[in-house]
Amino acid sequence: MEMQNDFDRLLFFEHARRNAEVTYAKNPLDTENLTRWGGALLELSSFQTVQESKSMIKDAISKLDEALVIDPKKHDALWCMGNAQTSYAFLTPDKDEAKGYFDSAYTFFKQAVDEDPGNELYRKSFEVATKAPELHSELHKQGFSQQATGPGAGGGPSTSSSVKSPKAQKSSDLKYDIFGWVILAVTIVAWVGFAKSNVPSPPQR
């Protein structure tokens, strides 16, 4: 059942991504569409290998950046940007490099809270952001970095599919946990946003 739910989510957000591309071609200044596009890419990144995830998160950051150039105070875009920066940081083994992304995420979360102080989700994300660097260090001490720099990162077989050792499985579980608190929240916002835009469900096959 869980696998079916993941597949349904994958279909939904892939459909949403394609729909956003079509809308962007018609109106590249639509900040709502750019934010939904970034959110969909961020959600889809959780289904990829580490290197593919990082590439997709970069794409999400690019779309969210476009939205914020047009409307710097768009709080949902600021919040999604904080999630994207956090996700990328967790997939970056180097502590100093990751810190730059964590610092950026902290700033975006703070701006989102400043723009919408009553939003509990924004406040919670802001609070958790202060603990993210410590969590990053702990996770990579436990071997998560081996997945981030393993065969899947170098163009060889993905560690998530080709390695079945308990340690690899643990790393895979850690990746899921890492994305959990950011992706779940993105999913909530994305579903609401797509519903408001009357995005049709993926066609039944």
Residue range 162-177, pLDDT digits in tens: 333 444 444 444 444 4
pLDDT of residue 158: 33
Convert the pLDDT of each residue in 62-72 to its tens digit.
999 999 999 99
- Residue 100, amino acid: G
Tokens of 177: 């946990």
pTM of the model: 0.70
pLDDT of residue 39: 92
Tokens of 187: 């999913």
Cα 48 to its chain centre, rounded Å, is 11
Cα 136 to its chain centre, rounded Å, is 16
Those residues of the chain that have pLDDT short of 70 are: 1-4, 143-205
**Whole-angstrom Cα distance, residue 147 to residue 153?**
8
Cα 147 to its chain centre, rounded Å, is 18
**Whole-angstrom Cα distance, residue 96 to residue 1?**
40
pLDDT of residue 144: 56
**Whole-angstrom Cα distance, residue 93 to residue 139?**
10
Cα 125 to its chain centre, rounded Å, is 13
